[in-house]
Structure 1
C-alpha cells in the first residue's frame, strides 16, 4: 500500500538558541527544530503536508511572531485536525510579587520587562484554547542545562526572582481542555541535557526516534499519543543514567489518539493473530478492534465505508473514531448503513487497502 499521507496534521515548531539580551543555548536547539520538521514532513515517517508545518528560529521567534503564528495555527487547524506545538529555548519561573508565573523566553526577551517581551503560561494557554483541533499536543523543552542567564540567584530589578526552568503548574495549565496533552523534557527540578557534541538534545533524540517508528510497537502504522510518551519516558532516563525524566500531562484525553503516521503508514506482517474460527460475537469484536487500528478516525477515514458501498448519512455522528466504528458495525450487523454495503464488501475493501495484514486475512466471516 502506498503512503496515504497525514493532511490533518499541523505543527508550529519554535527554537531559540541565540538570544538578543540573555545568554545563548547550544546549536542543538536549532537542530532539534529542523530535525523534527524534517521528520514530520517526510513521506517515509510522519507524512505531514509541508505547508502545514511552520518553523520559527532565533531572530524569527520574537514574542510578536510567536503569538501571530499561534493565531494562524488557530485559523488553519479545523476540529478534525491534529495540532502540535514544540518549543525549545529558555524558560523562567518569576516569583516575588503576588503570584508565581512561568514564561517562555522569545528571541527579544528582556529580563527587565518580561511581561512584554516573553510569553507567560497564561498567555500561551489562552492562545492554545483558540485552536479548534480536537487533538492538540504541546512539547516544552525549556529547562536546558547551561542556561546561566536565568538562574536561582538572578533578579529583574523589580524585586522579583527569576528561577531557571518551567513550573509544574504551568505544565498542567497548558494541558487543560478536551483532547489536550503536554509533554515536557524534564521535571521542574531537573535540567534538560544536551550532551557535548551531540546533534540533538537528549529529549529530542528520544522524541525523534519515537516519531520515526520506535513508538509504534504494534506496527499499526500510526504514532499514538500514549505510545509516544511511553517510549520517550523510558528512553530518556536510559540515556542519562536516570538523571532526566520527561513529564506528561493530560486533563481530558479519552483515547490513545494518533498524532502522525508511522513510517509512512506502513503496517508490519507481525502482530497479534486472530483465530481462524471465532464465535460470531468474538468476530465482530475482533473486526471492530482491527478497523479502529487501521482507520482510527472512523468509517470516513480514507472513505472506506463509502468505497465498500455504504452511505455515511445512515450512520450516527460520533466524537471519536472508536465510538463511530462501534455504532457503524452494530448498524451493519442489523442490516443498515447503506443499500450496497455488506460485511463481506467492508472486509474486502480493508483487505485491498492493507494487503499484508494477517489479522484481516485470518478473519472468517461467520
Structure 2
C-alpha cells in the first residue's frame, strides 16, 4: 500500500468546554473519527506523525495556535505539502460589530476567542500551495445565547460568506463550511457524529469518485458532501447547505484504499466496509454510571443504573435512561421489580410511575414491554414506500421509506434497487429518504431492501412507477 506522504492535518474537536453551556461531545467524536480514517493505511493513508488531534481540554486557544505554527513548520520543510485544517465546535458572531469567532475549550472572553483576523493570519503564515479548511460549526443545540462572560451580543451562527471569503484569501486555498447563513449544522439521530462529518468521512474514502479512481480530489469531496448533507438534512425535515470558497487547482486530499483505488464495482462495492470503518472510528459519547445509593430524579441518565449492595439502593424517578442503559437487579425501579439484568436499548426509554417503555432484552430478543407488562411480542420489521406517482427522466426524485418494528439504536442497511438505480445507505431510526434519477421512460420497478448490520436481508417492499420524458 502507498502512503500519502505529503499530507498533514490539524484536527480540532472542541467537545467539552470550560463553560458547560458551550459543550457538545459529538464534536470530539467528529475529530477522532477524521483522525482514524485519515491515518488508516487501508483508506486515506496519512502518516500518523503528520496528524495533530486536539479534543476536549486539549483544544485550547493556545494549543490551536500552536497547531497552526506546527503546520507552518511542516509546510516549510515540505514544499509539496497538502494541509488540512478541520474544526468541529461552536462559532459565534458579534451582532454589534459583525465579527465572527470560533470557540475553543477555554474561550470565555472576547480576547480568548479565535477571530476571523487571527485565523486568517495563521493560515497566511502556512506556505503551502494546497490548503483545505473544513469548518463544522453552528451545531443545533448545545449552546445558549449568553456566554460565560454574559456578552449577550454574541450568538451562535454559521460562518458568514464574508468570513469564509476572508479565510479563503491566498493561492491554493479552499474553505468548506458545514452550513451557511442562519442554518444549523445537524447531528445524526444516534448522536455519534454530525451529518457533515459523516459524509465528509465517506468522501475522504472515495464515495464521490468513479471506478478506477485512486485519489480523492477537492472537487470530489465538495460535490459529494454538498449533495449528501442536503439530502440527509431533508430526511430530518431540516435544511443544511454546505458552502465553499475556492481559489485553487483541483488538488489531491487523500488516497483511496491506500492507493489501491476503487475497483470495477466502484464505491457501492466498498460501501459496507467503508461504513463499518466509520462506525468503528466514532465511539459513542461517554455516559455516567449511577451505582449503589445514588438518586436520579428528573435527570438524563446515559449509562447504567446498577444496584448490587442493598434493596432500594437506586431510586430512578422521572429519569430518562439513555441508549444502552442496564438495569441490574433484585431492586425496584419506578415501581417495577427487575429480575436479572435487563438492557434498555431505546434512547427514549423512561422509568417513571411503574412504566417501562422501550425495547428490553432479558426475556427474549426483540421483546417489547409497555407499562411494565411481561406480555411480550417479537418485533417483525416492515417497510412502506412513499414515492411520486410519476417521475421524469433525468430529474432527482425523493423516495421516503418508513421503517417499522426495528430497534431504534441499531444501525441498519437500506438498499434501493431498480434498472440503472443502485442506492445504499446506513441509518438508525424509522425513516430514510433516498434520491433516484430515472434514465429511461417506461415502468420503473423500485425495490427497497432492509438488511441487518451483518448484511442479512430482513424484509423488502416494491413499488411500480411510471417514468416520462
Same fold (TM over 0.5): yes
**Moved >3 Å (runs of 4+):** 153-158, 267-271
Per-residue deviation at 1:155?
Answer: 10
Secondary structure of the 2:11 match is: strand
2:37 is aligned with 1:31: no
TM-score, normalised by the number of residues in structure 2: 0.53
Aligned to 2:153: 161
Aligned partners of 1:18 and 1:188: how far apart in 2? 25
Structure of greater relative contact order (alpha carbons < 8 Å, 6+ residues apart):
1
Aligned to 1:93: 93
- Aligned counterpart, 1:262: 256
Offset, 1:267 = 3.4
Q: Which segments of 5 or more consecutive residues in structure 1 lack a partner in the other structure?
A: 272-366
Separation (CA, whole Å) in 2 of partners of 1:155 and 1:22: 9
| Aligned counterparts of 1:155 and 1:53: Cα–Cα separation in 2 | 32
1:125 Cα deviation (Å)?
A: 0.6
User: Normalized per residue, which structure has more strand?
Assistant: 2
Cα drift, residue 269 of structure 1: 5.2
Q: What is residue 139 of structure 2 aligned with on the other side?
A: 144
1:147 CA drift (Å): 3.4
Displacement of 1:126 in angstroms is 0.4
Preserved CA contact (<8 Å) 1:25 1:146: no
Tell me by how many angstroms 1:218 deviates: 4.6
**Map of 2:60 onto structure 1:** 62
1:1-366 superposed matches below 5 A: 3-77=1-75, 78-96=78-96, 99-110=97-108, 113-114=109-110, 116-149=111-144, 151=145, 161-165=153-157, 166-241=159-234, 243-250=239-246, 252-253=247-248, 255-268=249-262, 270=264
In structure 2, distance between residues paired with 1:231 and 1:75: 31
Q: Deviations over 1:223-253 (max 9, x none)?
A: 1001110000011111111611111111x21
Counterpart for residue 360 of structure 1: none
Alignment deviations for residues 80-135 of structure 1 (CA, whole Å, 9 cap, x no partner): 11000000111000132xx321000011111xx22x21110110010011111110
Aligned length: 260
RMSD between aligned residues = 2.1
Confirm or deny: 8 A CA contact 1:88 1:140 kept in the other structure: yes
Structure 2: gaps of 5 or more residues: 266-469
Whichever of the two has the greater Rg, that structure is 2
**C-alpha contact (below 8 Å) 1:155/1:162 kept by paired residues:** no
Counterpart contact for 1:154–1:161, Cα < 8 Å: no
Classify 1:148/1:8 alpha carbon distance in 2 versus 1 (closer, same or farther; 3 Å): same
d(CA) in 1 for partners of 2:11 and 2:72?
14
What SS class does the counterpart of residue 206 from structure 2 fall into? Answer: helix
Deviations 1:60-93 (A, max 9, x none): 1111111011111101123311000000111000
Contact 1:104/1:119 (8 A) holds in 2: yes
| 1:14 Cα deviation from its structure 2 partner | 0.3
Task: Give the CA deviation at 1:211.
Answer: 0.9
State whether residues 210 and 262 of structure 2, in contact with CA within 8 Å, keep that contact through their aligned partners in structure 1: no
C-alpha separation between the residues in 1 aligned to 2:195 and 2:137?
13
C-alpha distance after superposition, 1:140-181 (max 9, x if no partner): 0111000332x3x779656x6112112221111111111100
The alignment partner of 2:165 has SS state of helix
